[in-house]
Amino acid sequence: ETGVTQTPRHLVMGMTNKKSLKCEQHLGHNAMYWYKQSAKKPLELMFVYNFKEQTENNSVPSRFSPECPNSSHLFLHLHTLQPEDSALYLCASSQVAGQGNTEAFFGQGTRLTVV
Amino acid sequence: GENVEQHPSTLSVQEGDSAVIKCTYSDSASNYFPWYKQELGKRPQLIIDIRSNVGEKKDQRIAVTLNKTAKHFSLHITETQPEDSAVYFCAAGRTGGGNKLTFGTGTQLKVEL
């Protein structure tokens, strides 16, 4: 395993539900990310956290709310989602060190279906 | 912001042939270009990356070339094998804080026997 674990692997939720996706990394990295992967679309960056601080919010609707309590854990809180939000949500982590961009390690993803 | 375009969207080759996937980027400040492979139902995994201070990098059967002037970079896979069948994503980003990667739309590579 790559050291990035996501739960749950699959989630079906109604449009009025509230749920959370969890990501945990055991690699000692200091940056974590949420990506959305839809059919026939590129990996879309949603949020970036560096040292627990959010540094990027890529125009994501407020029905997606990230939380990063520490550098090892990242959550994505979901509420009042739409069917078009159905996608694979991937978490990733990397080590930001000086001027070096290092490999982003991805989790297995959560397959979300909004009904 | 950065915009990455990737071509082709699908690529079918015979086993043993070479495969080439091309990407262009828009932000001249981007200096880090990784390539990820995603097999069906699995997570994307880094297969090779290149930084803007070099023009080519090779790792066994895979190589990546970078043309900073033209803002394009390419992935080359030689002697393709069935296990090379997957979706390949290029990405572009900047080193330093933020560590943001912009991905291409992906190329579905199929290696036929």
Q: What is the pLDDT of residues B70-108, one digit of tens each?
A: 999 999 999 999 999 999 999 998 876 556 788 999 999
User: Residue A58 has which token pair?
Assistant: 């890529």
pLDDT above 70 for A1: no
- Which pLDDT does position A101 carry in this prediction? 56
Biggest distance spanned by C-alpha atoms of chain A: 44
- Which pLDDT does position A61 carry in this prediction? 93
Q: Which of A115, A84, A88 is nearest to A12 (CA)?
A: A115
Confidence class for position A30, pLDDT limits 50, 70, 90: confident
Instruction: Say yes or no: B4 contacts chain A, CB-CB below 8 A.
Output: yes
Q: How many CA atoms lie within 13 A of A23 on its CB side?
A: 31
Beta strands A73-79 and A64-70 are antiparallel
State the best of A2, A32, A43 to mutate against chain B, taking most chain B CBs within 10 Å: A43
Residue of A nearest to B98 (CA): A55
Question: If you average pLDDT over residues A5-29, what whole number do you get?
Answer: 94
Query: Between residues A103 and B66, which one has the greater pLDDT?
Result: B66
User: Residue A17 has which token pair?
Assistant: 């539900």
Confidence class for position A56, pLDDT limits 50, 70, 90: confident
Cβ neighbours of A46 in B, within 8 Å: none
Q: Which residues contact B58 (CB under 8 A, 6 or more apart)?
A: B64
Q: Which of B36, B46, B99 comes nearest A48 by C-beta? A: B99
pLDDT in tens, B26-43: 999 898 899 999 998 889
Instruction: Say yes or no: B98 contacts chain A, CB-CB below 8 A.
Output: yes
The CA distance from A98 to the nearest CA of chain B, in Å, is 6
pLDDT above 90 for A99: no
Find out whether A90 and A34 touch, Cβ atoms under 8 Å.
yes
Q: How many CB pairs under 8 A join A and B?
A: 64
Instruction: Say yes or no: B93 contacts chain A, CB-CB below 8 A.
Output: yes
Question: If you average pLDDT over residues A65-83, what whole number do you get?
Answer: 94
Cα(A96)–Cα(A52) distance, integer angstroms:
12
- Which pLDDT does position B99 carry in this prediction? 61
Q: Which of B31, B43, B105 comes nearest A90 by C-beta? A: B43
Query: Between residues A97 and B65, which one has the greater pLDDT?
Result: B65
Instruction: Say yes or no: B100 contacts chain A, CB-CB below 8 A.
Output: yes
Q: How many CA atoms lie within 13 A of B40 on its CB side?
A: 6
For chain A, how many residues are written?
115
Instruction: Say yes or no: B27 contacts chain A, CB-CB below 8 A.
Output: no
State the best of B25, B36, B43 to mutate against chain A, taking most chain A CBs within 10 Å: B43
Instruction: Say yes or no: B103 contacts chain A, CB-CB below 8 A.
Output: yes
Contact at CB, A43 and B103, closer than 8 angstroms: yes
User: Helices then strands (H, E): number in chain A?
Assistant: 0, 11
- Which pLDDT does position A100 carry in this prediction? 56
